[in-house]
Amino acid sequence: MRTTAIVLRHEFLSIVRKRSFWFMTFLFPVLILAMSFGSSFVTDLEGDALEEVLKPSAEAEIFGYVDRAGLVEQLPPDVPPEIFPAFSGEGEARAAVAAGEIAGFYIVEEDYLATGEATLVQDDFSPLSAGSAGPLFEYVMNYALLGDAAKAAAAVEPIGDTRLQLVSSPGEKTDGSAPDNGNAEETPQSSAADPSFAAIADLVPFGVLFILFFVITTSSSYLLQSVSAEKENRTAEVLLVSVKPRELMLGKVLGLGAVALLQITVWIAGSLLVLYQYAGIPDLAAVGLSGSLIGWLLAFLALGYVAYGALVAALGAMVPSQREGTQLLFVVLFPLILPVWFNYALTADPNGWLSVALSLFPLSAPVAMITRLAAGAVPLWQPLAALVGLALIAYFFVLIGARLFRSDTLLSTQAMRWGRLVDEFRRSGRA
């Protein structure tokens, strides 16, 4: 055990002393927020486009219109004529463009009601405006057709944010009232009603999904780099003089597991600091990060890392170089990529058949099950069953890794082949 502890300490310190490790540790939460808020930010920009163009400014480009169909009897009350001037004919409008008074103009064709077609005429070609109408023009035409400013504005963006609610969701009432779970303290209603709390709570499933995926895959890649690099530079020959192969493997797996635990600790502590000091949120449970969820997260992280760590350690022992190991790493980690691909199913329909299948399959369970638990209510037997299945597969992979992580494989320079893998496994069984 002493040699295992020495290997553990070496592996842990070799990673945490790297600037790149701390850079990614602190940068990763920022990337998660950027990916989570990115689409919402773009949507908000689109939703605010009409409001922005209704504010006259010296820098804003002015467009006009020529109404050949005779539909625009008057502009909406909140649209000043100077920001969307009318012209009696195309010649007059073209003259205004040539004089620099307007940037372009729309022509409402005579058969507009039948075809919905309009023409945009402007001096310079703009790929952003080609093929689409501006929000102000849409607003004016909606008002001309509907005669109501509120309906016209709503028609520019008829659907805002939508929420999915399943009929079969346990504990939910169709009238929108809170579920009656017999324990008022388990569901902080005042927090759930706060829009800022709800917005942060919506990000939690995506956050835990990417965090689990990132930690397990990164730690596994560190392990592969460590083993394959020692093979390439012949350090393994020196180490095996004083360290047994299985002690070496155990020390590496535990050391890089401690690195993964450190990252999770930093992120949880950082989340607490941000929520308490800056977001004004009283506790993590208010946004869906309950103590039980964190407990499940740590359990699935530990077993998921052990399973993939043992498998990657065996892979590192079998491949002759780090380059070949990196190419095969995608195959090993592919089951963890599936929940990332199907993240919408896990968050929008956590009890759908695809979500249940991904979360019960042991190799995708570490990421999929935690995402489901963060997204909605899950029957207790399912995370328990997933945890048991993951524990069994982790034990199986540890046995495989222990069989393949031997002196002859660590010192071998043969290429990785499936036939050789079977031969090595049979040889270790006879040893």
Mean pLDDT, rounded, for 102-116: 88
pLDDT of residue 107: 92
- At 234, which amino acid appears? R
What is the model's pLDDT at position 125?
Answer: 57
Tell me how far apart the alpha carbons of residues 240 and 409 are, in angstroms, rounded to a whole number.
12
Q: Tell me the mean pLDDT in the region 60-88.
A: 88
**Whether the predicted pLDDT of 13 surpasses 60:** yes
Confidence of residue 425 (pLDDT cuts 50, 70, 90): low
pLDDT of residue 388: 94
State the pLDDT at residue 361. 93
> What are the sequence ranges of the domains in the chain?
2-39+192-430, 51-156
335-348 per-position pLDDT tens digit: 888 888 888 788 87
Burial class (CB in 10 A: 0-12, 13-18, 19+), 69: middle
Between 242 and 365, the more confident residue is: 365
pLDDT of residue 212: 80
What percentage of the chain carries pLDDT values higher than 70? 67
Residue-level pLDDT at 415:
64
How many angstroms separate the CA atoms of 206 and 351, rounded?
Answer: 16
pLDDT digits over 355-377, tens only? 899 999 999 998 899 888 888 78
Confidence band, pLDDT 50/70/90 cuts, at residue 201? low
pLDDT higher than threshold 50 for residue 98: yes
What burial class does residue 375 get, using C-beta atoms within 10 Å of its C-beta: 0-12 exposed, 13-18 middle, 19+ buried? buried
- pLDDT: which is higher, 106 or 415: 106
Rounded mean pLDDT of the chain? Answer: 74
Cα separation, 109 vs 114, in Å, equals 10
Kindly report the number of other CB atoms within 10 A of residue 427's CB atom. Answer: 14
pLDDT (average), residues 231-238: 69
Average pLDDT on 90-105 reads 90
Rounded to the nearest 10 degrees, how much is the dihedral formed by the CA atoms of 35, 37, 41, 42?
Answer: 30
Choice between 147 and 426, residue whose per-residue pLDDT is larger: 147
Residue 382: band (very low, low, confident or very high) from pLDDT cuts 50, 70, 90: very high
Find the mean pLDDT for residues 52-65. 68
Whether 329 has a pLDDT exceeding 70, the answer reads: yes
Sign of the four-CA dihedral 337, 343, 345, 347: positive
CA distances to 11, 210, 343, 358 from 371, rounded to whole Å, are: 30, 9, 8, 11
Give the mean pLDDT of 96-123: 87
Tokens 């394959």, residue located? 228
How many CB atoms sit inside 10 A of residue 228's CB? 24
What pLDDT, on a 0 to 100 scale, did the predictor assign at position 411?
64
The three state secondary structure string of the chain is CHHHHHHHHHHHHHHHCCHHHHHHHHHHHHHHHHHHHHHHHHHHHHHCHHHHHCCCCCCCCCEEEEECCCCCCCCCCCCCCCCCCEECCHHHHHHHHHCCCCCEEEEECCCHHHHCCEEEEECCCCCCCCCCCCHHHHHHHHHHHHCCHHHHHHHHCCCCCCCCCCCCCCCCCCCCCCCCCCCHHHCCHHHHHCHHHHHHHHHHHHHHHHHHHHHHHHHHHHHHHHHHHHHHCCHHHHHHHHCCHHHHHHHHHHHHHHHHHHHHHHHHHHHHHHHHHCCCCCCHHHHCCCHHHHHHHHHHHHHHHHHHHHHHHHHHHHCCCHHHHHHHHHHHHHHHHHHHHCHHHHHHCCCCHHHHHHHHCCCCHHHHHHHHHHHCCCCCHHHHHHHHHHHHHHHHHHHHHHHHCCHHHHCCCCCCCHHHHHHHHHHHHHC
Determine which of 125-134, 306-315, 397-406 has the lowest per-residue pLDDT on average. Answer: 125-134
pLDDT confidence of residue 185: 36
pLDDT in tens, 129-166: 444 457 788 888 888 888 888 887 777 666 554 454 44
Of 411 and 307, more confident: 307
CA dihedral sign of residues 172, 173, 178, 181 = negative
Residue 26, pLDDT above cutoff 70: yes
pLDDT at 186 over 80: no
Look at the pTM and tell me if it is higher than 0.75.
no
Confidence band for 254, pLDDT divided at 50, 70 and 90: confident
Is domain 51-156 in CATH 3.40.190, yes or no? yes
* Alpha carbon distance 246, 160 (integer Å): 57
The least confident of 15-29, 147-161, 168-182, 269-283 is 168-182
pLDDT band at 95; cut points 50, 70, 90: very high
Which of 91-100, 118-127, 154-163, 395-404 shows the lowest mean pLDDT across its residues? 154-163
Residue 353: strand pairing partners: none
